């Protein structure tokens, strides 16, 4: 149903045009803000989730390897400690310190 008042119809068309324009401006502003945020995030030193998980897994593997190496060193020291105790021989006495008053 069309109204008889052309001025009212023109006003409604104009308001609809403004609404469409403002909606488009809002979408464009949102898109621009997202792009700016992406650029800012890319320029920062943030680590991605996949990189973080990879480093976390490597750190856990390094900790496990470190514990295994500590146990191996302790076993070798215990083994060498028994053999070295008999072969150590006499200990040398430390050098005499110079007298500071002299």
d(CA 80, CA 66): 21
Counts for the chain of helices (H) and strands (E), in that order: 2, 0
The DSSP annotation for 72-85 comes to HHHHHHHHHHHHHH
- Judge whether residue 51 has pLDDT over 80: yes
Tell me the pTM: 0.38
Q: Determine contact, residues 2/9, Cβ cutoff 8 Å.
A: yes
**pLDDT digit string (tens) for 68-78?**
999 999 999 99
């Amino acid at each position: 149903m069309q109204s008889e008042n052309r001025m009212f119809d023109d006003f409604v068309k104009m308001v609809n045009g403004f609404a469409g324009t403002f909606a488009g401006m809002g979408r464009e502003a949102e898109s621009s803000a997202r792009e700016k945020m992406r650029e800012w995030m890319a320029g920062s030193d943030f680590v991605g989730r996949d990189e973080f998980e990879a480093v976390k897994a490597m750190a856990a593997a390094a900790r496990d390897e470190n514990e295994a190496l500590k146990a191996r060193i302790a076993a070798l020291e215990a083994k060498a400690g028994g053999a070295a105790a008999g072969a150590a021989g006499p200990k040398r006495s430390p050098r005499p310190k110079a007298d500071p008053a002299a």
